[in-house]
Amino acid sequence: MICPKALKKGDTIGLISASGATPPEKLQPAIASIEKLGLNVVVGETCHARHGYLAGTDDLRVADVHRMFGDPMIDGVFCIRGGYGATKILAQLDFDLISANPKVFAGYSDVTALHIAFNQLCGFVTYHTPMPSTEFIRQEMDDYTWQSFIQLIMENERKAYYLKNPSHQPMSTLVTGSASGQLIGGNLTLVTASLGTPYEIDTRGKILFLEDIDETEQRVDRMLTQLKLAGKLDDVAGILLGAWTNCEPENPEKPAHSLSLQTIFQEILMPLGKPIIADLACGHCLPTMSLPLGRSVKMDADNQRIHVVE
């Protein structure tokens, strides 16, 4: 795996949306939040565009991705937000162009579709991080989240380090043991949506990270079951579970008619016998850590330690 050159102050960021349309009132604050890091910003057309729920047509979003990776003056590419739509453009992307120009690529949620494709088809590390118009501009964006983001994209180019939660948020162990492998994954919904496509996630010998938001417990059960039936969970070396924000019973007034996430994990994941660390502060939450997807990691579930290898 190629590790893109770390960013430094004075570098230029290409800001795009491969997914949902950006609310106009959030664009300038998002740009300002990046400039505060000492980075310059080139705003893609998709940040101004709307095609229903999408940030412009598929052709426009493809053109923005190609422009930012193909322009030698652009040092990194940030997705301004998630939403929906990244999967729709995969078949039109020029992966030869992208792989020939590996750059820091950051985002999460719907951006998971691009992380999987860039990791597997282009062979470079990408970064699961908060995004400018959804987290950067929120007043509660905390020091832990900022430091995790900055250290990852501007300092930890190839260095070894540990993924650590905030001190007041301990991780937990679902299954003991240790494992090592390439860190992959992201949003459960997008990981599951990759199945049966040319961009299907390859979990063989990997450390799989999963998180999600606004899915009922039954839907989480369905998606994990689909991954299991597809053999994707049997193939992993280990599993990391992040935040499950607003993933609650479909009918909160009848909790007995649902299964808790803990029960779902116990019934689907724990029998796999693979090391599992849960409660990572990562996903649709604050504080949240940033992850280097594609880097090799070693996990020690007994002691809740996750080491990113040099």
Q: In the annotation, is 128 catalytic?
A: no
What is the Cα–Cα distance from 21 to 133, expressed in whole angstroms? 11
Q: In the annotation, is 45 catalytic?
A: no
Which one from 211, 215, 217, 296 is the annotated catalytic residue?
A: 211
Give 36's DSSP letter.
T
Determine contact, residues 80/24, Cβ cutoff 8 Å.
no
Determine contact, residues 34/27, Cβ cutoff 8 Å.
no
Which one from 109, 133, 194, 258 is the annotated catalytic residue?
A: 109
Cα torsion for 27, 151, 117, 299, to the nearest 10°?
A: -140
- Going 273 to 118 to 287 to 18, the CA torsion angle's sign is negative
What is the Cα–Cα distance from 61 to 168, expressed in whole angstroms? 40
What is the Cα–Cα distance from 186 to 165, expressed in whole angstroms? 17
User: Residue length, the chain?
Assistant: 310
Angle at 243 between CA 204 and CA 228, to 5 degrees: 35
What is the Cα–Cα distance from 174 to 155, expressed in whole angstroms? 32
Q: In the annotation, is 180 catalytic?
A: no
What is the Cα–Cα distance from 25 to 60, expressed in whole angstroms? 21
Which one from 19, 258, 284, 296 is the annotated catalytic residue?
A: 284
Catalytic residues: 109, 211, 284
